[in-house]
Structure 1
């Protein structure tokens, strides 16, 4: 079963001069691949889910079906968390820019986007409270202050930790989408 949210389109890896190489601009797509930290964490969660599913079968066979069903439900929650972790990130389309978090998804139509730009600022390391100096891709909206919105991408999040070239490519691509579809760079 293909998982389209796991990989970026091959067009982003092409060496063309075209910044936005898509035939279908209306579908939501992530302009970069998930990083090794994010994929590794999801793999560990899925490994844990396999053990919990095995435990659910054993409990259902030796105990009551209700207890087995409860453990099976717990395994489904772990699987859903792993899939949501893989889906997190920035997605773009002709309609706007979507920032998918673990619990919250924010969508900004291109008409409300004033600018998408890279800034040097303290960023959270792997989403933890510890901050380090790094780069962040920030969204400036017409209806909100940029201080209210979290950064879209950072050089120290689970997708780009230790992958500065990948961050630059992803930030440039999202900025290109913003420049083409938004009000302009600010």
Structure 2
């Protein structure tokens, strides 16, 4: 069974390290990096919890309490949807622009609306928690706006303790920006 979210780094194998825009279809949205171990572990934990809740729902259904079973099935469904959404969180690029997918919200910026895409040193949130640490962030600034929107940080769930992957991802997003923002 193909898992497309795990094939994002396929162009960065040993034989294709110099390819900046590795995908043939530039119209579809792609994440230019693999989900990090923290994100995958959190999603796996949610799916494990959902399996236990589903098992509890089946046991409750067999005992005859349909209202309790329906609550269990709804909770398990919410956990599964949350795990899948957690795996989609990140920065996505295409010929049309850059998309920042958060857990509850998605923001898309067309390349023509982006004035700057660069990596900066700034305080960043550690694993998405309110605590901030000094780190690097890939930011995009819209034309006519002064406030930068961070796309990636080196302390989020995808890049914590993976500096090389962060550099490769930021270089790839900047290459997409250079290709489509000016052209």
Indicate the TM-score class for this superposition, using the shorter chain for normalisation. over 0.9
Conserved 8 A contact 1:116-1:139: yes
Is residue 37 of structure 2 the alignment partner of residue 43 of structure 1?
no
| 2:10 corresponds to | 10
| 2:76 corresponds to | 75
Q: How does 1:112-151 map to 2 (within 5 A)?
A: 112-147=113-148, 149=149, 151=150
Residue 160 of structure 1: SS of its match in structure 2? Answer: coil
| 1:23 corresponds to | 24
Residue 5 of structure 1: SS of its match in structure 2? Answer: helix
Cα distance in 2 for residues equivalent to 1:12 and 1:114: 27
Any idea what the Cα deviations from partners look like across 1:138-162, whole Å, max 9, x if unmatched? 0011143324x3x110110000000
Conserved 8 A contact 1:7-1:34: no
Aligned residues: 182
Conserved 8 A contact 1:138-1:146: no
Runs of 5+ unmatched residues, structure 1 = none
TM-score computed with the length of structure 1 as normaliser: 0.92
| 1:111 corresponds to | 112
Q: How does 1:88-107 map to 2 (within 5 A)?
A: 88-107=89-108
Runs of 5+ unmatched residues, structure 2 = none
Q: Shift of the alpha carbon at 1:7?
A: 3.5
Q: Shift of the alpha carbon at 1:24?
A: 0.8
Cα distance in 2 for residues equivalent to 1:127 and 1:44: 17
Q: Shift of the alpha carbon at 1:88?
A: 0.4
Any idea what the Cα deviations from partners look like across 1:91-129, whole Å, max 9, x if unmatched? 001111110000000011111011210000111100111
Cα distance in 1 for residues equivalent to 2:100 and 2:29: 11
| 1:165 corresponds to | 164
Q: Shift of the alpha carbon at 1:11?
A: 1.5
Conserved 8 A contact 1:134-1:156: yes
Conserved 8 A contact 1:6-1:87: no
